[in-house]
Chains A and B, each alone.
Chain A
Amino acid sequence: MPPKPHRVLLNRVSLYADEAAAFMRRRRVARRPFARLYYPHGRSADHAQDSRSGAELFVAAGRLIEVAGKKPKG
């Protein structure tokens, strides 16, 4: 007996939602720190953390994160 049409639709939506959730989970786990600079005309450049400029950017960013402090609750 074939499944009811709405079941097929629900299964399909659930499948996509599961895929999206898994993608976001993998992204959170796998995402590495990065430093990206944007220039005029839409050009951008990534600087690896182990490069000299990248390391300096991360140090400067770390200081700003320190200045910002923790997120206020509420």
Chain B
Amino acid sequence: MTTVTIQEARARVTVGIFAEMPDAAAATTPSGDAAEAALEFLTEMSPDLRGAAILGPDKEVLAGTGEEPERWAEDAAALFEVADGAEDAPVEQIHIATEQGEVFAVRNAGLAAVTVTDRFALASLMLFDMRSTLRQLATPNFGPPEGTKPRKGDG
């Protein structure tokens, strides 16, 4: 059928187009204040979140929760290193569910976000929020989208 051919071609061509598009890197490293604002927004959006950090292009902590935010850098780098080495290919997202909680990590536009949540957090929403936060943070004029309301009470 013609329709099927078009859909197949569209899927093949679209994948090809995306493959040729480089991952948009942040033009400049976001400021600490912008990263703090992004982290605060992410925390508000995700009621299951226990802790999180946003890392810059050089794996430095731009913003992090907890008493020792610097600790995120080393452990997040270790996680990405292990994940990249699992199949000798760079990963985009990581989701690890343990008995103690769940770990999510996303790389986008040269930045990285790592979050730890309670068990059974909604993975797709968590990853979507993290990805969109990083994407917005990478834009020069970062600001939480207007009219966006936190999902508090959804959990």
Interface size on B, residues (CB 8 A): 38
State which residues 20-65 of A face B: CB under 8 Å: 27-28, 31, 33-41, 45, 47, 53, 56-58, 60-65
Of the listed stretches B34-42, B95-103, B138-146, name the one at the interface; the rest are far from the partner chain: B95-103
Interface size on A, residues (CB 8 A): 29
Q: How long is the Cα–Cα vector from A35 to B66 in the complex, in angstroms?
A: 24
B103 cross-chain contacts in A, Cβ below 8 A: 61, 64-65
* B11-47 Cβ-contact flags toward A at 8 Å (1 or 0): 0000100110000000000000000000000000000
A47 cross-chain contacts in B, Cβ below 8 A: 86
Chain A nearest CB, measured from B103 CB (Å) = 4
- Whether B98 and A33, one on each chain, are in contact in the complex, defined by CB atoms closer than 8 angstroms, is yes
A70 within 8 A of B: yes
Residue of A nearest to B74 (CB): A63
> Among the listed A27, A34, A38, A68, which residue makes an inter-chain contact with B91, where contact means beta carbons less than 8 Å apart?
A38
B58 within 8 A of A: no
